[in-house]
Structure 1
Amino acid sequence: MMTMRRREWLAAAGLLPFSAHAGPVLQVGPTRALRSLAAAARQATDGTRVEVDAGDYVGDVAVWPQHDLTLRAVGGRVRVVGAGAHAQGKGLFVTTGRRQRIEGFDFSGGVVPDRNGAGIRLQSGSLTLVDCGFRDNENGLLTANDESIELDIVDCDFGAILPRGGQTHNLYVGGIRRLAVTGSYFHHGMQGHLLKSRAAVSHILYNRLSDEIGGRASYELEFPNGGVAVVMGNLIMQSSTTDNPHVISFGVEGAKWPRQALYLVHNTLVDQRPSGGIWLRVTPRQAEVMLANNLFVGGQKLPADNAWTQRANFTADWDAFVRAVREDFRLAPGSPLRGKAQDAGEAEGVRLSPVREYRHPHASVALAGPARHPGAFQS
């Protein structure tokens, strides 16, 4: 029988089939009986599937309290545009139900009076996002601090943040039970972080976190209260215009959770900051830290800490890759780094060897065989 932890991991990676829908179905669109998302939110009950015709839904904000709810775009992208509207002063969508799923939606213009608006505010329950996009919001997605919340993000795009002057983030996850992010693209931050998680458990797998030209993110990846973080198979790039010399930070605001562990495995980390800086900042001395099979590119420094487990981490020159200037960070066929990966074992029920790799612009694909090379890319 499949364990719950294994099932959660497979679901987060998009590798589990979804069961057939047996509940009520609502259809939304300009030619349907229901013409707005807000009307569908009022009419939907637990177990409803809401099928939304592609197009722009301007000022069409909603609160979704239903359990086992599915929102799915039909015939193309569904674009939810704020245009000054917001739900509960929080964002475009506010979700509170358990086992909700949203697929094929784009959110833009999440702006509220307190400047902490979001495309989606996850207030309670659990949510799975698949192939969704966030652009020009104060925050892409923001969760409450609720230790029962679970959030899965698969193949999503968290794009440019509005320059509103606040410490806003592409993804800000509060003190929740679990976060899993796979195959997603985080870029063009503005003063805040590309991905900030206070979750007890965070699995950040096969993503691209890169501030890009003109981006001004602080950290690319932060776990301010520690917890257990598995960071594997990611391309993480700091821009030349970053607001912070650190790329990854762990535990800087205090260790909230009893278990403190960071597993940084099979990532490609790229520094474009002219004066260089620091790859990793870990504050709680009791944290277990493993760095294995990572590639470090650029002028950053990795602090020495004898308590950390480190193996098969390499500093790579730009010419070690197929075409770094075009951001193709696959190791070149003749690179001496090929085949240098070592077995990193298992942690927290996850084998610390990638089975997928990121595929731009926001997806992941299965590997043809076992991971042999350091870094995020094996093909």
Structure 2
Amino acid sequence: MEPLHVVVCPDSFKGSLSAAEVASAIADGVLDAAPDAVVIRLPMADGGEGTLDALLEVWGAEALVTATVDAIGRPAPARWAVSPDGRTAVVELAEASGLPGVSDAPLQPLHASTRGTGDVAQAALDAGVDEILLCLGGSASTDGGSGILTGLGARLLDAEGRQVPDGGEGLASVASLDLSGLHPRAREVRWRLAVDVTNPLVGEHGAAQVFGPQKGARDGAVEFLDDALRHWSEVLERETGVAVAELPGTGAAGGVPAGLIAVLGAENTPGAVLVAEAVGLPAALASADLVITGEGSFDSQSVNGKVADGVARLAAASPARPPVVVVAGQVLLPEAQARAAGIAAAFSIAPGPVELDDLIARTAPRLRDLAAAVTSLIGAARR
């Protein structure tokens, strides 16, 4: 009998283990049960925070660092990466423009911006890449992507021809766009935006109404930002001919996709699918007998654009059609819904009622034990 081919492609267990550490623990469990198994480890992410680290791990690459500014304009470093073939840059918005970087200061929902991420993107363009994968998630701002465009050389002008301030507040007074100083390669490369939401830019389900409060916006500020984003969308449509206000996904990360789709022709891509393609998951699945993925909590969101959902979809489309098993800290999704989403089975690492601190402390060994049990079961079925 041929050795068991297993693809291990988990997300991180937030607050416990990185995706790479989870993959290592699962792989160890597989080899405990089947020492001759061929195990391919592909740490995953859903396109938000942690995506850069997952890709660095798979590529065996070192992060590059650019000196830039954080979401409130203070000097800060930001990491990014280039694929081994030199063609693709990975920029994680949270590195320069994320909430973690400004957690030591009062939130500034009207003034926070993504300009720092624009600086990183400019460095990537200078490096000669053909494609930029921009991972959205953890954003501290609601600026409609205007900061990134500014970092790339665009100018947002008011009715008097003066450049407006950074942040969502400045959007309310934008009258025109000056793209004459835009980086010469900004419109030549392919931009793919990793998103895991379908919210539009404005309205009840838009960037300001849904995500603004997470960034410190309250009552009047939420309404102001929603109006400012609507005005920004009108300027973008007038200047570029692209309507973005109601476009699904443009509400992600404070509306970043809106500005980049209109000006740069960017494409929204489900984050898990984008990462899967970048790490080579479709090719790995072609010869797999078993796929083990996982995340901290397996629930209804897991089968709606998260890693488990992306893995299941790709496995179903693979010639091998391998079974997909989820291992998680907790399993909250009913079995029928999991099966409908293409998940063969889902198991919790909790042995029963257990304190959260204990579960977190013993995540790795419990993952290893559970992976060994799953592998033994699959091995027995093959025999």
For this structure pair, what is the TM-score category when the shorter chain's length is used for normalisation? under 0.3
Q: How does the TM-score come out when normalised to structure 1? A: 0.27
Q: Which has the higher contact order (CA 8 A, sep 6+)?
A: 2
More strand by share: 1
- Name the TM-score, length of structure 2 as normaliser: 0.26
